[in-house]
Structure 1
């Protein structure tokens, strides 16, 4: 198997890499994933020659994962896009010709202006993938342009937790490993390997080495589970029921923090009455966990002098996503673990013009905000500023939609791989009047665009990194071909569309402005590289919680206006046994980041094929052995994966890889062969956030030659 695509006529086999930094060792922040690890880049003889972890960075203390170590391979990959492209063949054919930046930007600006004039600015959708520190730029451009429709994976990634935190306690939380918690619940998170949002796994592991106890809750017996004092193998989709049963147990045993509950919460009596029916016995079958294990875990958590909950994205990718996040936060609150040393600390912004202020939400008129797609159905998602993907596709394909979507500008998102119901997305992209994509390589989604723009990776940008613990400078070390940053692209489009008043002559000019509130400029931050954000505990004692009542809303009265339950609930299982004997969940590989990096040989060699994890009993039942190919099917679609037999999952659970495609197969990338999102749909969505059900789908598995 080869992992290198044949050079198409529109791509240079070896893009020219221009080095922008002087020889030496330079501190920076990696962005091959969300982690924010410190890194050191070595420039020698006018070339980038090495990248390693920064031992002085408190986030990772010199550790750098396989993805981070592959950064130079990513930078210099022969399939990097090096110049803007104009499509000359059918959508998806990969047939393009090279054009200059002025022509590319003029074409995109003309399409955006035409849509704005003929159908209104809401007919334009801006999409982005996992945030690479330019999310606030996408929102600023959208607000200035007048469209409320920004599309991203927020509904299944981090934002159910963010919005649950904001509505319940006035902000979102992260685990305080500096405070050395006595106990950590690692819930639906393989933190040591995947380094998701918030605080990366090395901080957790360091805390465990120093004596922190760990309980792991996950459908898979992960590497972390082998080091935990308890492992609860929850069934996919059973997280909300488990959290509510733990709350029931803590209240029933009178093990909650009476002082915190009395002084700083509202609705405790309502919560106690509400969870009365969520006994461990009542949820044992739904969760797959014996009642005595649920009780023991809840009481161990409540008895810990300090405890934190590391909630992953898995529990946020289900119909109960918002309720799960609320219930987990309520468990933390009634045990007195909110905003305390070693607990779940409320995030305080670092003072720069950053994630909260830079998007300039006030630029979007209220009448335009009311046109946010999905806002009528998924009101908490709309409140966070995001459009709902299913509603976006409806607005392209359904003539009866509230308004048409005709035009999309996509930044760093392989839409066909990362959203539910991939075939419907393909139909929507084909129907658009105009599609532009800014990306590092020609993905299956970019291959459908009318204009493709080459962007730089994290080693090619000057950026301000706003992290949970610090503000830091990420400097541009190189430039590949004629690529540009997403920030530069959005700024140039703004000038062409008459939006210059809300931007700068050049994107880099914004860096000084954003740092002014903390009395710094870009040169100063680049010199010191890293500015720690002081961690303040017990902020609520001085200023209360950032809710209407000033207290933690165990009963969230703010939800009444939206028509949603004031207390978290666990809905019934999705689907029925007639849909298949197995429960399907998916997992992210430690070697890839969503749909990225399968074109990098050093990473692809570690996991060369899409693997379907099956328990030995399930494999034997279906006549499958380790290494066989199998067809995985739901009522929505079917895909082909190679079986990996493992006892780390339950006999009725199967685990598929997320966002799999084959970059070596050219523009199409074989995106339909192993893409788990051909099996998902926009049915069974979470009402509040519109979260798709990626976990706990009923499925069948059959052997194929």
Structure 2
């Protein structure tokens, strides 16, 4: 029998909406959701069938026998595996306290259930992979605007000038974003690209700055200097919403265009031409910070400089600029119920020091790599259990030998994953999750100018003895005495529980795979953005109060590589 299923891709972090065709419980075709992507899907998404049919993924729960990393496993039932993990967790909690357990995941819209489990256990130590990804750009944004990296959406299609530092966007996995760039170029918009090597995006760009490696920050400082010198910035926006602009003017004085050109290996006149174009194109100019700039010692300040350039353009909450993502409340709709939102906040301080020792960092997901010191020293308390959900720290962080030395001090290592990973291979237990084509997930909210709820549905039955994350977490929660925080017996019941206050029914997803919460794009009044910037001063802070309190500079002098 043939059928068509609306769902969400799971081949990368973008989670594009998809349509899956099946026949006799076999996937025959995957494409992008026609209502949002026009059927387009990247090569990775199209390869999802291979992920589903991979015979070398874990096919049932596994408990290690022999030493860690030996590769010898006992194949066990789900009851045996969950009982084993629960017994270990209970022993750790009884001896060391619940804060001695930490849990990490991929992050994203389904992290709520992971947070709920670790917080329900009584531990504050939820974390994710992001300290090895976009955390620098996130904290740079937070220090300036008071909102993090996902606190802005970028209206690329309507921008007049898109500037990318190392963001090879046309070779990326974000199909919708790629289409927006192409539409922008077709409508006469400009694309400036900065990188150490030529790429697909560089080939399509109107201007390509091929810079000397490690000099991203120098180029950004030169741009800021020239924008200020040419008075190509939005004075009205700065006067109203920005603090310490004078400090920026003074700081960038030494970093003129000629200096930046020599340092970066580009022509000064091309940089001057670029700034003259910015003056014509603003405020519809976007310096897209992406996930990161070059991996270098000043990458935090490089990211911060790109955010400052956006501020100078005055591009906040304008078409073609940076836009605050809107949620259900902006549409007059109640949001989804949160599992984590029902749980009392743990009282213990985080084991990585974020939020108390390192008060300038976002304590939400913390910083995974800082836990290694805690594992070794036992300060502020021992870490004795680690559960990773589709997160492989061995592939994210350097020096796996040192990581293993720290992890060997733990009593329990658990991997919840669709496939083997280096970390999973080193664990005590592998709890195999069904692939995205075999499982349903929590309802997710996608914010933007037209926010929506979106749903993942299973296209086929699980090939092996695997389970969805919601089933795995529920099974563990029941066994460690916190099952009352997870009021469902199936993912369908969980979805209905989430939707209860919204007025939306699960049947409403059948037509398109998602439910739009408003018909027209929502924009805030640009003349009344007071309260939108969550900094201590309520303004965009060139000199961050939190960085100052932490003894860190907001504007750091450039050091040549």
TM-score (norm 2): 0.89
Aligned residue number for residue 19 of structure 2: 40
Contact 2:134 2:292 in 1 (8 A): no
CA distance in 2, matches of 1:193, 1:245: 28
Structure 1 residues 140 and 416: CA distance shift in structure 2, 3 A? same
Contact 2:137 2:292 in 1 (8 A): no
Q: Displacement of 1:103 after TM fit?
A: 1.3
Q: 2:33 aligns with which of 21, 44, 54?
A: 54
Q: Displacement of 1:515 after TM fit?
A: 2.6
User: Aligned to 2:515, what secondary structure does the other structure show?
Assistant: strand
Q: Is the counterpart of residue 389 in structure 1 residue 365 in structure 2?
A: no
User: Aligned to 2:56, what secondary structure does the other structure show?
Assistant: coil
Aligned residue number for residue 110 of structure 2: 134
Q: 2:514 aligns with which of 518, 530, 539?
A: 530
Q: Displacement of 1:98 after TM fit?
A: 0.9
* Structure 1 alignment gaps of length 5 or more: 1-21, 575-705
CA distance in 2, matches of 1:195, 1:272: 38
CA distance in 2, matches of 1:555, 1:355: 36
Aligned residue number for residue 403 of structure 2: 425
User: Aligned to 1:200, what secondary structure does the other structure show?
Assistant: helix
Aligned residue number for residue 545 of structure 2: 557
CA distance in 2, matches of 1:194, 1:312: 11
Partner deviation per Cα, 1:267-311 (whole Å, 9 max, x = no partner): 212221222222233344543434433333333223214112222
Q: 1:515 aligns with which of 499, 502, 523?
A: 499
Q: 1:149 aligns with which of 119, 125, 130?
A: 125
Q: Displacement of 1:360 after TM fit?
A: 3.1
Structure 1 residues 357 and 230: CA distance shift in structure 2, 3 A? farther
CA distance in 1, matches of 2:214, 2:336: 31
Contact 2:190 2:206 in 1 (8 A): yes
Partner deviation per Cα, 1:561-593 (whole Å, 9 max, x = no partner): 33332x33255356xxxxxxxxxxxxxxxxxxx
Q: Displacement of 1:526 after TM fit?
A: 4.1
Contact 1:121 1:146 in 2 (8 A): yes
Aligned residue number for residue 466 of structure 2: 483
Q: Displacement of 1:363 after TM fit?
A: 2.7
CA distance in 1, matches of 2:334, 2:425: 35
CA distance in 2, matches of 1:522, 1:99: 35
Aligned residue number for residue 344 of structure 2: 363
Equivalent pairs, count: 544
Q: Displacement of 1:220 after TM fit?
A: 2.1
Partner deviation per Cα, 1:444-479 (whole Å, 9 max, x = no partner): 211111111110122123232333443211111222
Aligned residue number for residue 694 of structure 1: none
Contact 2:334 2:502 in 1 (8 A): no
Aligned positions of 1:158-307 closer than 5 A = 158-171=134-147, 172-178=151-157, 180-195=158-173, 200-305=177-282, 306-307=284-285
Q: Is the counterpart of residue 458 in structure 1 residue 445 in structure 2?
A: no
Contact 1:190 1:312 in 2 (8 A): no
Q: Displacement of 1:337 after TM fit?
A: 1.0
Contact 1:156 1:317 in 2 (8 A): no
Q: Displacement of 1:84 after TM fit?
A: 0.3
User: Aligned to 2:59, what secondary structure does the other structure show?
Assistant: coil
Q: Displacement of 1:216 after TM fit?
A: 0.6
Q: Is the counterpart of residue 541 in structure 1 residue 519 in structure 2?
A: no
CA distance in 1, matches of 2:399, 2:354: 16
Partner deviation per Cα, 1:480-505 (whole Å, 9 max, x = no partner): 31211222222222222222332223
Contact 1:43 1:50 in 2 (8 A): yes
- Bigger mean CA offset, 161-170 vs 106-115: 161-170
Partner deviation per Cα, 1:100-156 (whole Å, 9 max, x = no partner): 111111111121221122112222121223x36422222222222222223322124
Structure 1 residues 358 and 218: CA distance shift in structure 2, 3 A? farther
Q: Displacement of 1:54 after TM fit?
A: 2.9
Aligned residue number for residue 493 of structure 1: 476
Aligned residue number for residue 603 of structure 1: none
CA distance in 2, matches of 1:551, 1:440: 44
CA distance in 2, matches of 1:243, 1:41: 44
User: Aligned to 1:431, what secondary structure does the other structure show?
Assistant: coil
CA distance in 1, matches of 2:97, 2:294: 33
Structure 1 residues 500 and 350: CA distance shift in structure 2, 3 A? same
Higher relative contact order (CA 8 A, sep 6+): 2
Structure 1 residues 568 and 516: CA distance shift in structure 2, 3 A? farther
CA distance in 2, matches of 1:25, 1:446: 34
User: Aligned to 1:504, what secondary structure does the other structure show?
Assistant: coil
Contact 2:35 2:512 in 1 (8 A): no
Q: Displacement of 1:169 after TM fit?
A: 2.5
Contact 2:160 2:190 in 1 (8 A): yes
User: Aligned to 1:459, what secondary structure does the other structure show?
Assistant: coil
Aligned residue number for residue 568 of structure 1: 555
CA distance in 2, matches of 1:37, 1:142: 28
CA distance in 2, matches of 1:378, 1:313: 22
CA distance in 1, matches of 2:294, 2:104: 20
Contact 1:31 1:132 in 2 (8 A): no
User: Aligned to 1:495, what secondary structure does the other structure show?
Assistant: helix
Aligned residue number for residue 6 of structure 2: 27
- Bigger mean CA offset, 510-519 vs 97-106: 510-519
Structure 1 residues 361 and 269: CA distance shift in structure 2, 3 A? farther
Contact 1:177 1:204 in 2 (8 A): yes
Aligned residue number for residue 654 of structure 1: none
Structure 1 residues 379 and 302: CA distance shift in structure 2, 3 A? farther
